[in-house]
Amino acid sequence: MTPEDLLYDETHEWVRLENEAGQKMATVGITDFAVEQLTDLVYLDLPEVGSQVTAGEEFGEVESVKAVSPLYSPVTGEVVAVHSELCDNPKTLSQDPYGEGWLIKVRVTDETSLSRLLDAAAYQKQREGEA
């Protein structure tokens, strides 16, 4: 499943862009493909509200029963919301990765960071290659 209205990063994060008072707000999550690959999720380590994230750099970690994997930020900006309830209940992420499983909301401060993201078709092609 690769929703058409989202943008994607090669490292399997998705971005929902919205305009809010003239500023670009990005909701960030990980794709159902990433969730499947990670298997049973047990824990998430997310940044604090107010911290800075940079496109292509790590902003947190997701822990499954077998591994700890970094979460890479698809955008550059300031974290304005963190879905912290998810940390104790990562099942929500497995069940609804594109909805209730969102991770953070970022006020984008550098729009040039968006140009590197993939559309649904390009990401779909990439994940078929990796599957």
Partner 1 sequence: MYLYDSPAETAAMLESIGAASIEELFRAIPSELRLDRTLDIPGPLGELELTRHVAGLAGRNLDANRAICFLGAGSYDHFVPSVVDMVASRSEFYTSYTPYQPEVSQGNLQVMFEYQTLICDLTGMDVSNASLYEGGSATIEAILMAMSATRRHGKVVMLRSVHPEYRQIARTYLRPHDVELVELGWAVDGRADLQQAAERIDESTACLVIQHPNFFGALEPVRELVDAAHGAGALVVHVFDPISLGILRRPGDVGADIAVAEGQSLGTPMLYGGPYLGILACRETFLRRLPGRIAGQTVDRRGKRCWVLTLQTREQHIRREKATSNICTNQGLFALRAAVYLALMGPHGLREAARQCLFKARAALESLAGDATLSRRFDAPFFKEFAVRDGTGDVAGRLERAKAEGVLAGVPLGTWYPELEDSFLVAVTEKRTADDIDAWSNALRGSS
Question: How far is residue 79's CA from residue 108's CA, in Å, rounded to a whole number?
Answer: 9
Binding of partner 1 by 68 (CB under 8 A):
yes
Q: Is 49 in the site for partner 1 (CB under 8 A)?
A: no
Question: x/- binding map, residues 19-48, to partner 1, per CB under 8 A?
Answer: -----------------------xx-x--x
Among 115, 91, 80, 97, which residue's Cα sits nearest to residue 14?
97
CA nearest to 119, candidates 61, 74, 58: 74
Q: Which stretch binds partner 1 (CB under 8 A): 13-21, 28-36, 56-64, 105-113?
A: 56-64
Quote the CA–CA distance of 60 and 46 in Å, as a whole number.
5
Say how far residue 78 (Cα) sits from the centre of its chain.
Answer: 14
Tell me: does residue 122 bind partner 1 (CB under 8 A). Answer: no
- Point out which span in 1-9, 18-26, 66-74, 94-102 binds partner 1 (CB under 8 A): 66-74
